[in-house]
Amino acid sequence: MRVVNSPHPSTAPSIYLSQVLGKPVLDANGERVATVRDLIVRFGGEPHPPISGMVAREGKRDIYLDWEQVADISPQGAKLSTFKVDLRPFQRRDGEAMLRRDILDKQLIDVDGRRLIRANDLQLAYSEGQYRLVGVDVSVQGLLRRLGPSRLTGSIQGRRTIDWGDVESFATDVPMVRLRVSHEGLSKLHPVDIAHIVDALSYRQGQEILESLDDETAADTVQEMDPEAAAELMEGLNRERAADILDEMDPDDAADLLADLPEESAQELLGLMEPDESDAVRELLTYEEDTAGGLMTTDYVAMPRDITAHEALARLRALEEPPAPLYHVYTVEAEGSERLSGVVSLRDLVIANSDRPLASLEDPDWRFVNMDEPARDVARLMAEYNLAAVPVVDGDGNIQGVVLVDDAMDVLHPDLWTRRLSRVFHK
């Protein structure tokens, strides 16, 4: 005997969305009244959002069935708990997503695996009194299940399912409703990982991610991205917001990014940035890109060579925002001078007796480069002498900035092509 009004499902603990779609909807009498067209989930705080409704095809129109009316779903179809179908036309509501239309086949982020996936199928399971979206099938089996005739391949089990709690979807895939998709999980990843994901995304999805991050994380992410793609993304952001992110970036990276923008946009953003930050960036923008001047950052610490180690450390502590990374303190002839006289490594500074003057701690064979030194030569020099940072001086011997090893490495090892088809074409 068939129990129609059972509050518990009679089927296996989990089923796939593809096994339900297109199957008959039976009323309490067992009469076929419609076919399953889509399932609706309500996104809230839960890691496994509950299914809140069904869209069914009846004749030539789509009707909405509240989940209250649905007794059970299974690979055989859906059973209703009512004898009469309430014929309400379907309308989208805020906070809800349609599994087939908005999520199936779409690109999603596997936060745990730090990569992009495509939803070959969706796994539903009954737990805590409700059917819920519990996972995304990303396996080839998931593809086969839907490719073949359902009689033959419909029950193939997925080999790789990713828990929905580790998955983030895109609000941009659901244009009709305002869907609040938080990218909270993503923002906890390392900026390098976020950058890889954003690089592999389409422009709009990348923008959605960037907008959801806080200024600092966004800045770190943008710095790690393909420079041209980063510029495109920043140009599309709200101006104020873009300026806030630029403020948080290292001046040299901000300069490289602005250089990739049309002049008017760059000027506008510079005008919106914090004056301190934009001054540094403006200066960097005047240097040729593939020289030491274009490679360097202006974030460094210089101190007169006659002060003591104790005094130097005190000054470092007093800095509001000490440069990061901080490998060296650069010594200049006198207070207020910019004339570079030597380099003191942080190591030597920290272990020295506190009354030693900086002059006595200067590295005996330190190196510097000129502003117009080609970037590749700078990078080679740093690689050859194992330098973490090298100061850059102008024609008068005044220190203008510092080239850091991570920026130099980009010159020697440009990134391989990114993971997107469009970048193959994008010259």
Partner 1 sequence: MGDRSNVAKPPLELAARSRRERFARRFSVGPLAYLGLLGPGLIAANAGNDAGGVATYASVGAEFGYSLLWVMVLITVSLALVQEMAARMGAVTGKGFSDLVREQLGVRVAAFVIGTLLVANAGLVVSEFVGIGAAAELFGISRYVAVPPMALLVWWLVTRGSYRRVEKVFLAMTFLFFAYPIAAILARPDWAEVGRQVVRPSLQLDANYITLFIAMVGTTITPYMQLYIQSSVAERGAGASIREARADAYFGAVFADLISGFIIIATGATLFVAGTHIETAADAARALRPLAGEYAQIVFGAGLFGASMLAAAVLPLATSYTVTEAFGFEKGVSRTFREAPVFLGLFTGLIVVGAAVALLPGLNVIRLLVFTQVLNGLLLPVVLVSILRLVNDRDVMGAHTNGRVYNLLAWATVAAVVTLSTIYLLITVLGLFGLEI
- With CB under 8 A as the contact rule, the residue among 69, 123, 169, 207 that binds partner 1 is 207
Residue 288 engages partner 1 in binding (rule: CB under 8 A): yes
- Write out the DSSP string of 346-360: HHHHHHS-TTSBGGG
By C-beta, is 139 or 331 nearer to partner 1?
A: 139
d(CA 302, CA 281): 19
d(CA 56, CA 35): 5
Q: Which helix (H) or strand (E) holds 256?
A: helix 251-259
Burial class (CB in 10 A: 0-12, 13-18, 19+), 334: exposed
Residue 262 engages partner 1 in binding (rule: CB under 8 A): yes
Span near partner 1 by CB under 8 A; candidates 60-68, 88-96, 227-235, 318-326: 227-235
d(CA 212, CA 228): 21
Closest by Cα among 96, 67, 268 to 180:
96
Tokens of 29: 């009498």
Residue 120 engages partner 1 in binding (rule: CB under 8 A): yes
304: preceding bond cis by omega (within 30 degrees):
no
- With CB under 8 A as the contact rule, the residue among 96, 216, 289, 394 that binds partner 1 is 289
Is 227 in contact with 256 (CB distance < 8 Å)?
yes
Span near partner 1 by CB under 8 A; candidates 58-66, 246-254, 305-313, 415-423: 415-423
With helix as H, strand as E and coil as C, how does 95-116 read?
CEEEHHHHHCCCEEEECCCCEE
By C-beta, is 21 or 301 nearer to partner 1?
A: 21
Q: Judged by CB under 8 A, how many residues of this single chain contact partner 1?
A: 60
Residue 395 engages partner 1 in binding (rule: CB under 8 A): no
d(CA 186, CA 111): 6
Span near partner 1 by CB under 8 A; candidates 66-74, 138-146, 304-312, 337-345: 138-146
Residue 241 engages partner 1 in binding (rule: CB under 8 A): no
Span near partner 1 by CB under 8 A; candidates 26-34, 186-194, 286-294, 341-349: 286-294
- Write out the DSSP string of 323-334: -SS--EEEEESS
d(CA 368, CA 340): 9
Closest distance between partner 1 and the C-beta of residue 185, in Å? 19
Closest distance between partner 1 and the C-beta of residue 95, in Å? 20
Residue 188 engages partner 1 in binding (rule: CB under 8 A): no
Closest distance between partner 1 and the C-beta of residue 68, in Å? 28
- With CB under 8 A as the contact rule, the residue among 202, 353, 354, 360 that binds partner 1 is 202
- With CB under 8 A as the contact rule, the residue among 42, 57, 106, 376 that binds partner 1 is 106
Residues near 286 by Cβ (< 8 Å), separated by ≥ 6?
A: none
Q: Which helix (H) or strand (E) holds 215?
A: helix 215-224
- With CB under 8 A as the contact rule, the residue among 22, 44, 47, 271 that binds partner 1 is 271
- With CB under 8 A as the contact rule, the residue among 16, 287, 300, 330 that binds partner 1 is 287
Span near partner 1 by CB under 8 A; candidates 141-149, 210-218, 318-326, 397-405: 141-149
Span near partner 1 by CB under 8 A; candidates 63-71, 185-193, 200-208, 243-251: 200-208
Is 86 in contact with 69 (CB distance < 8 Å)?
yes
Span near partner 1 by CB under 8 A; candidates 139-147, 161-169, 209-217, 315-323: 139-147
Residue 414 engages partner 1 in binding (rule: CB under 8 A): yes
Q: Are strands 77-80 and 24-26 parallel, antiparallel or unpaired?
A: parallel
Is 15 in contact with 124 (CB distance < 8 Å)?
yes
d(CA 312, CA 266): 37
Site string for partner 1, 322-361 (x = CB under 8 A): ----------------------------------------
By C-beta, is 212 or 308 nearer to partner 1?
A: 212
Q: Are strands 369-370 and 389-393 parallel, antiparallel or unpaired?
A: parallel
Span near partner 1 by CB under 8 A; candidates 34-42, 85-93, 112-120, 384-392: 112-120
Residues that bind partner 1 (CB under 8 A): 105-107, 115-120, 138, 143, 146-147, 173, 175, 202-205, 207, 228-229, 232-233, 235-236, 259-260, 262-264, 266-268, 270-271, 278-279, 282, 285-290, 294, 414-427
